[in-house]
Chains A and B, each alone.
Chain A
Amino acid sequence: MRVIGARIWVALGLLVGTAAAVAAQDPEAPKGIELAAQYQTRTQPLLAVRPLGAPVDLVGTAQTIQEILTRDLDYSDRFRIFETPSSLASGPIDYAAWNSARVVYVVDGSVEPSGDGGFSLRVTVHDIPYAEAKPTRTYALPSSDDPDFRMAVHAVSDEIVRDITGEPGAAATRIVFVRQNRGSNDLMIVDSDGENLRRLTGTEGLIYSPAWAPDGSRIAYTLQGEGTSQLFERDMRTGRIRTLPAPRSQLIMTPEYSRDGSKLAFAASINDQVELFEADVATGRFQQITRGPAYSFSPSYSPDGTRIAFNSNRLGNPHIYVMPSGGGGATLITPFVSGQRGYYTSPQWAPSGTQITFHGHWNSRGTYHVFVADANRPLSQIRQLTTEGNNEDPSWAPDGRHIVYTASGGGRNGLYVVDVQSGRVRQLAQGAGLRMADWSPTLVRTSGLSSGQ
């Protein structure tokens, strides 16, 4: 009867407590910043994944699936994982016994060969307090040595989360990022659970700002070479790379697609300034949508495509602004205090549309932290999500509650994921110089056949 991860939760709680105390003592901290990482472990229901039933030759596969599902459900941060005691590991679901252990959900299932080299996975979620089983679903999975196997299991976990909470998880996703490699940059990719870390491409130049197309089929990025700057798009299925239309410029950076995929915004230097451009993806035509005198970069579309959050140093230091898509009057989002060198950058609009994440600090003495602001209430209180070391380049998961970012210093180096709601943090990939992460949309969806009870 052990709760997995209890030590991590306690350790994080202590860290946050200390940092909160420090922040509270700093008399110069502006009133508009709230250290918002609250750990609400008690509100999360206990969930157990039972060992899956399987014929002898599929026992290993069944165990792998159970491990993937358990970790995904843990990383969804909607449950606390309860390790199934041997007394409850098999046989009919004993609701009374599970209930006395305070477990709320039990995921039960079995694996059977399906004849085509793959197999079918039957999953039943039991709601313990109500002593009832939700409809059993059957999912077709490829064989365990298929490169799509893990992603197919992640899609099943996302469906389990949807079955229980009404909202899908974000396990069937990947994160692209850039790895510094002796003066050049590699384009890297990793699954949402930290598996399958690999290099997509590397060159002699500096690769920056990878950004997923909203259907997950392509990635846009820039390359800063010897005297040139280019905008590329990589097809994720074929690996083919093509050049995207852009103005002739010494510096092209921060491409980002609109949520419907019809537009691509990016920044390019022109006449000694850095301005935003918006390209029509179908025709390749682009137009300039900001005009100096300052840098404007890091555009990010609102989910409905009507607005763009971006970064500008028109007040001296970088701040986050929102303007109409296509250009127009910009509204300052981040708190501006005259005389303080607040510095806020790298905005990304949340899938929900209500929040914008970014990183920065309120005073030049400080380290960088990840923040969340209300997209619809400019200059209102912003929430600080990180507390230790430097934390930069945040990007939303499609579930709208997890953010991946780069951490350095404070004993951490690599990509981390924070759950905006609980404040829980986990490491995604370890290493110095892992940066500019962009979280993919959901890459695989599975509905599963409902076969009744």
Chain B
Amino acid sequence: MLRRAVLFSMLVATAAACSRNEPPQEPIPPTLPDTAGEGARRAAEQARQDSIRRAEEERRAAEAATARARSILEEMVFFDYDDSNLRPDAQEALARKVAVLRANPNVTLRITGHADERGSIEYNLALGLRRANSVRDYLTGFGISASRFTTETMGEDRPLDPASNETAWARNRRAEFTITGGGERLVAPGM
């Protein structure tokens, strides 16, 4: 009998540990004898539960907005071989960033240009820098201040895909974006 009780309490403890990540839930109040104030008390309790739920929903919405804005800002753009011109798909991705940057005026970005492994190491360092600068120039063309961007190059030495084939090269010719300031709480652009 005692052993069964210990086992049961261990199960409860485990379940409690597992549910730690879920939103806090109020313990259900013990059932009391029916009195005159019972209805009012239930209504107040309901209102309290609703406000907690709303706060939780708002928090989740803000987190989702931050995550969405962050993913827009961090989305890489890709280039054609030996080229720093922005393709239509890259221009679309950058236009989405412009909206986020306008909605979050404190955000600063580091733009890192990369190249595929073909060509000389030195040339690819220069090409990576030109790609990063090309991205920066496109963004500042929308009126975003150049002071919000730093650019750098990693040449061919930080590939996404180390393989030596067309698929890998296409993924490696890219600009990456790192949020360097103001990224703790982001507002998603109006949708």
Contacts and interface: CB of A to CB of B under 8 A. Distances in A.
A436 interface: yes
A185 interface: yes
A229 B153 CA distance: 10
Contact of A227 (B121, B123, B130, B152): B152
Interface in B3-20: none
A297 B130 contact: no
Contacts of A226: 152
B133 to A, nearest CB: 5
Interface stretch (B90-98, B154-162, B183-191): B154-162
B129 A274 contact: yes
B150 to A, nearest CB: 6
B180 to A, nearest CB: 9
A452 interface: no
Contacts of A302: none
Interface residues of A, number: 33
B147 to A, nearest CB: 15
A209 B122 contact: yes
A369 interface: no
B119 A208 contact: no
Given A224-B153, A227-B150, A250-B152, A267 B122 contact: yes
Contacts of B123: 295, 297, 311, 313, 318, 345
Contacts of B121: 208, 393, 435-436
A224 B125 contact: yes
A253 B129 CA distance: 12
B159 to A, nearest CB: 9
B158 A392 contact: no
B151 interface: yes
Interface string B100-114: 000000000010000
A78 interface: no
Contacts, number: 68
Given A227-B110, A250-B152, A274 B157 contact: no
Contacts of B133: 272
Contacts of A297: 122-123, 126
Contacts of A251: 125-126, 129, 152-153
B51 interface: no
Nearest to A254: B122
Contact of B122 (A185, A206, A227, A311): A311
B157 A346 contact: no
B120 A346 contact: yes
A129 to B, nearest CB: 48
B154 A343 contact: no
Nearest to A343: B119
A297 B121 CA distance: 11
Contacts of B152: 224, 226-229, 250-251
Interface string A213-243: 0000000000010111100000000000000
The residue in B122, B130, B154, B158 that gathers the most chain A C-beta atoms within 10 A of its C-beta is B122
Contacts of A229: 152
A117 interface: no
Contacts of B155: 206, 224
A368 to B, nearest CB: 8
Contacts of A436: 121
A250 B151 CA distance: 7
Contacts of B154: 206, 224
A60 to B, nearest CB: 43
A311 B121 CA distance: 13
Interface string B137-171: 00000000000001111110110000000000000
Contacts of A76: none
B126 to A, nearest CB: 4
Contacts of B157: 180, 183, 185, 206
B163 to A, nearest CB: 13
Interface string A273-285: 0100000000000
17 contacts: A185-B157, A208-B125, A224-B125, A224-B155, A227-B150, A227-B152, A228-B152, A251-B126, A253-B122, A272-B133, A295-B126, A297-B123, A311-B122, A318-B119, A318-B123, A346-B122, A435-B121
Given A228-B152, A253-B122, A346-B120, 15 more contacts: A224-B125, A224-B153, A226-B152, A227-B110, A250-B151, A251-B126, A295-B123, A295-B126, A297-B122, A311-B122, A318-B120, A345-B122, A393-B121, A435-B121, A436-B121
Interface of B: 110, 119-123, 125-126, 129-130, 133, 150-155, 157-158
- Sorted nearest first, the 10 A-B pairs with minimum C-beta distance are A345-B120, A295-B126, A274-B126, A251-B129, A227-B152, A272-B133, A297-B122, A206-B157, A346-B120, A269-B129
